Amino acid sequence: MIMAPDTTPKILIVDDDFGVRNLVYRFLSRKYQIESAADGKTALSLFEQFNPTLVILDWNLPDVNGYSLCQEMQSRTNVLVMILTSRTDEADKIKILGAGADDFMTKPFSLAEVELRVEALLRRIRYINPSPTQRIVFKQLVINPEGREVTLNDKPLTLTALEFNILHFLASHPGQAWSRPQLIQKIWGCDYVGDGRVVDVHIGQLRKKMEIDASVPEFIKTVRGYGYKFEVSEENTNS
């Protein structure tokens, strides 16, 4: 047996439906290193040992919900997460994106679609800070990219990997307006094939965590008819 090289992307499949899990496992194992789990507890254990690049995660598991598991995994590494769901309601889609998922597929799906989505996600280049040790300070907001930590009024903010990437990217270009397509290209990557509303969902989640009144944001401002910008003022300092 020829072992896959270390450079081969690692994918963890988490689904309690054996048929779905086995089908996707066998299909993707032709090109990738694959592990699989049927529940959240096993998935987290494998996640630590396997250190996957991408997790394909069922939204409904027997012991934990996909929202919690997605956030737990992304709090540990900058892993890509694609959610599998049978839900089609608009509110459910927004909740999935709000959990930090990079993409989602609705069941039933074809293996051709799985391959397309996986390839697009793996080609994505995550936003990487060009000056990883430089803190960004804006009033009482402190962004530490080296530790991927954010504090506001000396209190830590719990952000998903994507929320951190969005905030850090915008704050690194203060006063510059970015359109939604530009943000998708810069943060999700030019190969992103998911829902464009993902930008609005994550900006909304960020505002809920950062702002006193999310409807009147102090930091991330809406540029009407265009996109968003991180507002800068004379009080802004970098150190």
Q: Quick one: 153 and 217 in the same domain?
A: yes
Residue 128 located in a structural domain: no
User: What domain range is 34 assigned to?
Assistant: 10-123
SS3 content of the chain, % helix, strand, coil (to 5): 35, 20, 40
The pLDDT of residue 195: 66
Q: Quick one: 160 and 117 in the same domain?
A: no
Residue 26 located in a structural domain: yes
CA dihedral for 197, 141, 216, 177, sign (positive or negative): negative
Each residue's pLDDT tens digit in the chain (239 positions)?
444 446 789 999 999 999 999 999 999 999 999 999 999 999 999 999 999 999 999 998 989 888 889 888 887 887 889 999 887 777 777 777 777 788 888 889 999 999 988 988 887 644 444 445 688 888 789 998 888 889 999 999 988 778 888 999 999 888 999 998 888 888 877 656 666 778 888 899 899 999 888 888 889 999 998 999 998 655 444 44
Q: d(Cα 187, Cα 111) in Å, to the nearest integer?
A: 27
Residue 47 located in a structural domain: yes
For residue 66, the domain's CATH number is 3.40.50.2300
Q: Could you please report the per-residue DSSP string of 158-173? A: ---HHHHHHHHHHHTS
Q: d(Cα 142, Cα 154) in Å, to the nearest integer?
A: 8
Quick check: bond before 108 cis, omega within 30? yes
Q: Quick one: 14 and 40 in the same domain?
A: yes
DSSP state of 60: B
Shortest CA distance to 2 belongs to which of 23, 33, 27, 28? 33
Pairing of the two strands 149-152 and 178-179: unpaired
Q: d(Cα 198, Cα 200) in Å, to the nearest integer?
A: 6
Q: Which residue among 62, 92, 123 closes a domain?
A: 123
Residue 201 located in a structural domain: yes
Q: Tell me the pTM.
A: 0.64
Q: Quick one: 171 and 94 in the same domain?
A: no
For residue 170, the domain's CATH number is 1.10.10.10
* Angle 21-22-28 from CA coordinates, rounded to 5°: 90
Q: Which residue among 123, 153, 178 closes a domain?
A: 123
Q: Which residue among 90, 123, 156 closes a domain?
A: 123
Q: Quick one: 36 and 66 in the same domain?
A: yes
Q: For the chain, give me the number of helices (H) and strands (E)?
A: 8, 13
Beta bridge partners of 54: 11, 80
Residue 1 located in a structural domain: no
Q: Quick one: 14 and 110 in the same domain?
A: yes
The pLDDT of residue 2: 47
The pLDDT of residue 3: 46
The pLDDT of residue 43: 95
Number of domains in the chain: 2
Residue 227 located in a structural domain: yes
